[in-house]
A = this chain, B = another copy of it.
Amino acid sequence: MQLTPAMRDFILHWGEMGARWGVNRSVAQVHALLFVSAKPLPAEEIAETLSIARSNVSGAIRELQSWKLVKVSRELGDRRDHFTTHHDLFDLARAVVEGRREREFLPTMEALETVIDGAREDGVTTDEVRDRLETMLETMRLLDAWYQDVMRLPRGAQLTLLRAGGTVARYLPKTG
């Protein structure tokens, strides 16, 4: 596949961003390439275009699949897998946030619960420290409930909220 300079720049930048967010650079680059590609790409072509090993692409695709970010498709008369990704930033964000919630956020909440239980029983952790951890956990629960609630809304309503920005605060009754 022939990369235009604009595509190349985009892919490189996306790779850097991924690296800063704990995503393997190659994985982010493969994702970026699929994002700008006009058509589904076979692994071989991805490897050539990005100048990385075929096996590296294999791993990157697997990683992206684990985040539900790539779809496999086939073409008549071609036995190779072809890969695609969402072309909509909302779909991308949703998949990433959902994945991180399950892999990191929820486990952290569980860990906090365990830590707090331990703190309650070990007889050495002060109440002050335990309170602080409990408050943190409460806040995380609040954030998570908000997230789930908003995710249940249809996309149109989400967009409306987004566009409304902070003005929605006006419509709400003041509580505590």
Residues on A lying within 8 angstroms of B by beta carbon are 2, 4-7, 9-10, 13, 17, 19-22, 35-36, 38, 87-90, 103-104, 108, 111-112, 114-116, 118-119, 122, 124-126, 128-130, 132-133, 135-136, 139-140, 142-143, 145-146, 149-150, 152-153, 156-157, 160-169, 171-172, 174-175
Contact = CB atoms under 8 A, between A and B. Distances in A.
A144 to B, nearest CB: 11
Q: How many copies does the complex hold?
A: 2
Contact of A169 (B7, B10, B157, B169): B157
Contacts of A133: 6, 10, 36
Contacts of A116: 6
A153 B169 contact: yes
10 contacts: A4-B129, A7-B125, A13-B111, A19-B22, A21-B22, A88-B139, A145-B165, A153-B166, A156-B174, A161-B169
Nearest to A121: B6
Nearest to A149: B165
A150 to B, nearest CB: 5
A90 B139 contact: yes
A126 B37 CA distance: 10
